[in-house]
Amino acid sequence: MVKTELAKLPEHKQAEFVEEYKRKKKSVGLAYFFLLICLGMPYGYLGKWGLQLVYWLTGGGFVIWMIILIFTLPSNVKDYNKDVALEAMRNLKAMS
């Protein structure tokens, strides 16, 4: 959906979209870094602070949640980035 809408926009608007998307998107590598190195913070990195708090309070879901998260983290980041793209497109259309 975003690709088709983006193709309809003029070049300068497309450049604005790409700039905003690049600024706000998240990286799978950094998400793994936050999960494994920085106190298990992948949800905080993705802006889901409520889930992050529950994750901490349960010790990573008694480690089971952490193991599952290792496999589902790429799809979580992909969903986050999809939401970022939709938001950027909405903002661009609202400004037009």
pLDDT digits (tens, 9 = 90+) for 10-33: 888 888 889 999 999 999 999 999
Residues contacting 86, CB < 8 A, separation 6+: 1, 2
pTM of the shown model? 0.84
**Residue 95, pLDDT score:** 73
pLDDT digits (tens, 9 = 90+) for 40-68: 889 999 999 999 999 889 887 888 988 99
- Cα-flanking dihedrals φ and ψ of residue 12, to 5°? -65, -35
Mean pLDDT across 61-88: 92
Residue 18's nearest CA partner among 96, 94, 92 is: 92
